Structure 1
Amino acid sequence: MRKALIIAIAIIVVAIGITLMSHHSSPAVGRMNINANYVFLIPQSNGEYDLGYYGSSEQWINLGIFNVTSTALKQAAGVINSFNQHYVGTTVNNQQFIPLAYIIVIGNSSGAIQLPVQDHAILLSKVNPGYWTIIVTSQNYSAKFIFALDTGYKESKQVVIGSPIWYPPVWYQQPIGTILQETMTMQAYREGSFTGGYVIEMSNGTLVPWGFLFHASHNAFGGNLLFILQASPIYHGLSA
């Protein structure tokens, strides 16, 4: 009986020791401090994300490659991939369907962003959803969108229904109307998650169409980001 008791105690002590070791072996959660109004996570082909932003000299500052943990991100990426697969090969706005790409934008009007990081993974699920969202646009427009937010833009607006921007004239060579239509189609494709029909006008007058994730996993996204707060439906059209 005494021998069995000693063995039982020994097993408990070993179990406690293993538990403590596994607890202490978990990497600590750190904070990455970034002095910028916006920072971006750009998806890579291997499932990781390139983190960076444009500095005051309009030069891209690369902060490294990271994994990103977020249930909302995983769900949204799945919706975007499903949408692209569903519409590939179809015609939108009298043009061939252009697959939508996405980027993650994280912002703070104070100019100071803190990202929780653990074991080379950004814990996006621990960032206030009001200060980040997922932007959808075409691959070619993604870089322009990032540049506009970090270096300055004229305005951010939602395009009114009936505006000629939905069907640009021949002289306007960019597929802006097609991307706008696709972001609106995505809004209907998975109702309640994405919203579309927006443009940002860059400092040089270039218009960049976009939509964004506004609801997922019982959270609203991007509500505190300035460019979203500015977007109201008053953008009427193009000028020659």
Structure 2
Amino acid sequence: MTTNRIRALRNEKELTLKALGEQVGLASNTLSQYETGKREPKLATWEKLADFFGVDVGYLQGVTSVKNARNIDMYGGADIDNDDLTSDEAHKRLFSYINKVGFDQFWDEGEQRIRLARSDTLSLILDVISESEKGYNEVDTDYNQSISNLNTRNQIMKIIENVTHLALNELPESLPALSYIANVVEQTTTSVIYANVDLDRTDFDDDERQFYTDSKKKAKQYLANTLENYKNDTK
């Protein structure tokens, strides 16, 4: 599990939990749970804290080493209008920046900008899903706020982008491939749910407890096999 940087950034500012809480409008015990990973902030809370510390959400969450990818100037200063640069001048300034920070840092900054763009796009999609499901369950879920980890949001968008491109091509293999992906995602999702069911729930009768016990065993085996196959495929 990735360690977030809330505590480190708070210490840099020499703030107590109480002082930080007063600044951002959060209880000190809540902030303490966020720092230790015992609770996961909603997306709006991550954004509020990131704005306070002047960093990206991904940096605050600990998923990237890039502090603020949105505000990086690769072309030479705030007083320069990038649109006024010639192609040659833009290339010179860009390569000068790469030489200054190193290619690895330049690559990480680019990756972080992609993550942020994907996260922004996903917000629109999740808002639509949340709105469409209102009233169907006992408690409405705000998916955009609940799915707050930047890496998780990035993975969701990568899946959406890839299956969209697959469907767009309309090749003979496209429909069978989409059906396979849909079945794997559905089975994996169901298995994760069954694998984490609480068998000590007091509202289960004997038949239900036996059903969930068997389902949990099968789900764990399926997930173990899936993980093993993934490891073998990526060697």
More helix by share: 2
More strand by share: 1
Give the TM-score range, shorter chain. Answer: under 0.3
Give me the TM-score of the superposition, normalised by structure 2: 0.23
Name the structure, 1 or 2, with higher relative contact order (CA <8 Å, separation 6+).
1
Give me the TM-score of the superposition, normalised by structure 1: 0.23
